[in-house]
Amino acid sequence: MFTPAHYLLPLLLVIGTGGAMPSPWAPPPGCYVAEEAGEPTFRCSQAGLSTVPIGIPNDTRKLYLDANRLASVPAGAFQHLAFLEELDLSQNILAHLSGAAFQGLEETLRLLDLSANQLASLPVEAFSRLQIQVNLSANPWRCDCALQEVLRQVRLAPGTATGIVCGPGARPDLVGQEFLPLAGEEELCGPGRAGAPRSTDVALLVVMGGWMVLVGAYLAHYVWQNRDETRRPIKRPPALPVRSEDSSTLSTVL
């Protein structure tokens, strides 16, 4: 037989919650929890999101936020996801990432997809401690120092390098060109980082080399000409004829 206490406890819970039992957390519309290849996964693809959703399960290893309307990623947006390995932010309208956007993911994040957004540049500090493979294709890149520094810290996802193309905000001579070959040929980080383009340095070396060749040729010609001069016989002036008066005078003296 149940005692009155068995009935009082549920009643107190109902009163304490304003007359209704607390409901379990529900994901935003269009999002759902799943398990893919044995990994806890949270999918919010094409869910119409304009901000990173709250309440993502802490044990999530794969997070898909692709094909939404995310314009930025604030600092610490995923720092509670201590097991996150893959993050898909592709096909949004991202134009800005905080330098601390991936804070807390330094030890776990392995794959990051930022393709097909509106990114023109990236904060270098956002990638300074990450050991990731990243997809940066299909963005209107400014092709600046920051992007060059980011590429020195990350690995590109296979087959995505050719998709990193300089957009309208880049130098006029770079627009429409693939960035990866340029990043290997030029230093874009300003005078403090030997900022003159390497192609300009090569041109200067060629010009200086040309001048040195000309100077060397002139010196060789000068030396050769002087050597010819020293080999020629010395022309002595013709002897002056002795006048008869001088001869007779000399005979008289003798």
Is residue 28's pLDDT more than 80? yes
| Rg (the chain; Cα; Å) | 41
Query: Per DSSP, which regions of 120-167 are E strands?
Result: 133-135, 155-156
215 secondary structure, DSSP code: H
What span, in angstroms and rounded, lies between the C-alpha atoms of 7 and 135? 58
Q: What are phi and psi of 215, to 5 degrees?
A: -65, -45
- DSSP states along 33-51: EEEETTEEEEE-TTS--SS
Indicate the pLDDT class of residue 25, thresholds 50, 70 and 90. Answer: confident
More confident residue, 6 or 31: 31
Over range 66-80, report the average pLDDT: 97
* The pTM of the whole model exceeds 0.85: no
Domain 27-186 is classified in which CATH homologous superfamily?
Ribonuclease Inhibitor (3.80.10.10)
Domain residue limits, the chain: 27-186, 194-224
Other beta carbons within 10 angstroms of residue 67's beta carbon come to: 17
Q: Could you read off the pLDDT of 122-176 as tens digits, one per residue?
A: 999 999 899 999 999 999 999 999 999 999 999 999 999 999 999 999 999 999 9
